[in-house]
């Protein structure tokens, strides 16, 4: 081949390579520009402050399912964040509702879209987050720590031998992979730490739906080597996993607070005033110590099969409850919620009135179904189920809507069907809607007033209506929490009159 032809080919190849590089750079630059958050339109924030929240009667907290946020243990809904939020909601005369959202980014979106009102994730206050949401006064101050595994044979080693194999100086993280929660402040902290030590820590964000405690478990089980979390979360998890070391700090103490919408001035002011006052009370420290200081109680929970983050059972009687619920065509978690309210799953429970067992049956009621051994869970559930079936039959022609009907059945189980029918008649007489529990419960409450229990339409006289009304509200609230943390559905046909998604 002639020299001038070689030069031409070389020139063409060089030109082609240059064109490809320029195209790649242009594409990369364009891609980066599309992902630049500053180029995106500002996030829309719904107009929903405390005055409107009070009008509707409930406040929704966006939370994760964790040992410090929200979990169920032996049927009881628990969690540090949950107990504080519940206390705040009570102080405002509001019902607390929960929106469990594992993804932090999704939580921010839901908050500003109005799908929740308070963002409660054991959330670290950062400047970047302040651009999107407003933070309350902090309710805790904690530092971030490195979570790493002790050597495999650490129990047989001396302390100084263990120390030699652990990272105590952050400089030793150079070149190491540290997996952190997606969209978390841990990522930002490790980036800053890389700058401070003058070299790169390899920071990997896990999938958006993976929560901090799941990543900590990966370290304990040897799937990854390092992660970062707040010290309070790390302390709780080190109780579950004694092979974890959490003593290496990677930050100064940081503020842990809740987030609200930036236009939620009323809610922010109310929360701030409440948090400042709450932190002065013994109640706050009782709640805090319960979850972060009581290592023995934490260990007992995690080793229990009735722990929603591990064992996945509500009670020792789940299989019996499911069988009875199928006979009733109820979601089994609804019946479980009723049993928890009645006896906290204690087959030997006995009330001051002489009601006994899981479903707190009076001996006279049980005898109608030929049951005499009320402490026996099988017999007690059988009699209770038969009584609920009788109430279902009784109200089947009285209350048309099956979803409303279950509320009347629960109230009648508590106070007797006669008092509930009195309230229905009063509702009808005073131009309420006798088909709606919200209307009828008001007249059930009024049956403690002589103007109403002496009304000609009333057949069963005085009734302390607050008890059945609270009974129904409590059971449905427990049921909602069970649905959130035990998401399995019905084990009966789809045409069940009490579908779980609608109650």
Task: Output the six-digit token pair for 258.
Answer: 């809740």
Find the helix packing angle between 466-485 and 402-415, rounded to 10°.
Answer: 130
- With b meaning 16 or more CB within 10 Å and e meaning fewer, what string describes 211-220? bbbbbbbbbb
Query: Any residues with CB less than 8 A from the CB of 267 and at least 6 apart, and which?
Result: 49, 50, 53, 117, 118, 260, 261
CA–CA separation, 74 vs 83, rounded Å?
16
SS (H, E, C) 82-114: HHHHHHHHHHCCCEEEEEECCCHHHHHHHHHHC
Q: Which of 342, 367, 491, 495 is catalytic?
A: 342
Cβ distance 124 to 231 under 8 Å? no
CB 113 within 8 A of CB 46: yes
Radius of gyration of the chain (CA): 29
Structure tokens at 92: 């405002």
End-to-end CA distance of the chain: 84
Q: How many residues does the chain have?
A: 503
How, if at all, do strands 254-260 and 140-142 pair?
Answer: antiparallel
* Active site annotation includes 177: no
Among 60, 70, 120, CA closest to 481: 70
Burial 475-484 (b: 16+ CB within 10 A, else e): bbbbbbbbbb
Specify the DSSP class assigned to residue 397.
T
Rounded to whole angstroms, the Cα distance separating 321 from 382 reads 10
Token pair belonging to 409: 């059945």
Two tokens, residue 445:
């409450």
The residue behind tokens 């179904």 is: 369
* Tokens (6 digits) for 433: 């809607």
| Rama region for 72: left / alpha / beta (φ>0; ψ in -120 to 50; rest) | beta
Catalytic residue annotation: 342
């Amino acid at each position: 081949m002639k020299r001038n032809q070689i030069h031409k080919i070389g020139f063409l190849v060089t030109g082609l390579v240059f064109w490809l590089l320029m195209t790649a750079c242009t594409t990369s630059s364009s891609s980066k520009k599309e992902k630049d958050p500053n180029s995106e339109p500002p996030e829309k924030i719904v107009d929903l402050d405390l005055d409107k929240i009070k009008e509707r009667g409930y406040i929704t907290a966006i939370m994760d399912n964790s040992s410090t946020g929200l979990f169920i243990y032996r049927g009881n809904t628990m969690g540090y964040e949950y107990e504080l939020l519940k206390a705040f909601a009570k102080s405002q005369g509001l019902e607390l509702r929960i929106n469990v959202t594992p993804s932090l980014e999704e939580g921010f979106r839901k908050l500003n879209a109005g799908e929740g009102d308070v963002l409660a994730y054991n959330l670290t206050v950062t400047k970047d987050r302040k651009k999107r949401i407003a933070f309350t006064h902090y309710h805790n101050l904690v530092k971030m720590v490195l979570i790493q595994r002790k050597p495999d044979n650490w129990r047989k080693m001396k302390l100084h031998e263990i120390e030699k194999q652990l990272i105590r100086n952050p400089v030793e993280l150079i070149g190491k992979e540290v997996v952190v929660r997606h969209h978390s402040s841990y990522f930002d902290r490790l980036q800053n730490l890389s700058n401070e030590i003058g070299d790169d820590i390899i920071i990997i964000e896990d999938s958006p739906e993976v929560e901090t405690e799941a990543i900590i478990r990966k370290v304990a089980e040897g799937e990854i080597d390092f992660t970062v979390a707040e010290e309070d979360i790390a302390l709780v998890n080190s109780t579950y996993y004694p092979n974890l070391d959490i003593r290496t700090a990677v930050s100064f103490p940081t503020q842990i607070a809740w987030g609200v919408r930036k236009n939620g001035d009323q809610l922010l002011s109310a929360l701030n005033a409440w948090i400042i006052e709450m932190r002065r009370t013994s109640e706050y420290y009782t709640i805090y110590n319960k979850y972060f200081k009581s290592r023995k109680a934490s260990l007992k929970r995690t080793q229990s099969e009735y722990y929603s983050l591990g064992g996945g059972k509500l009670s020792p009687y789940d299989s019996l409850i499911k069988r009875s619920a199928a006979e009733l065509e109820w979601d089994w978690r609804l019946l479980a919620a009723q049993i928890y309210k009645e006896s906290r799953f204690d087959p030997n429970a006995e009330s001051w009135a002489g009601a006994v067992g899981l479903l707190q049956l009076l001996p006279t009621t049980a005898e109608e179904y030929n049951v005499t051994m009320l402490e026996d869970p099988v017999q007690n559930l059988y009699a209770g189920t038969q009584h609920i079936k009788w109430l279902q039959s009784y109200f089947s022609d009285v209350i048309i809507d099956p979803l409303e009907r279950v509320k009347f059945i629960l109230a009648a189980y508590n106070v007797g069907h006669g008092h509930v029918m009195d309230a229905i008649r009063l509702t009808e007489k005073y131009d309420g809607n006798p088909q709606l529990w919200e209307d009828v419960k008001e007249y059930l409450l009024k049956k403690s007033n002589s103007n109403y229990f002496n009304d000609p339409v009333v057949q069963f006289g005085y009734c302390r209506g607050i008890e059945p009304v609270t009974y129904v509200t409590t059971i449905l609230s427990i049921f909602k929490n069970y649905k959130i943390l035990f998401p399995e559905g019905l084990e009966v046909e789809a045409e069940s009159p009490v579908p779980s998604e609608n109650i």
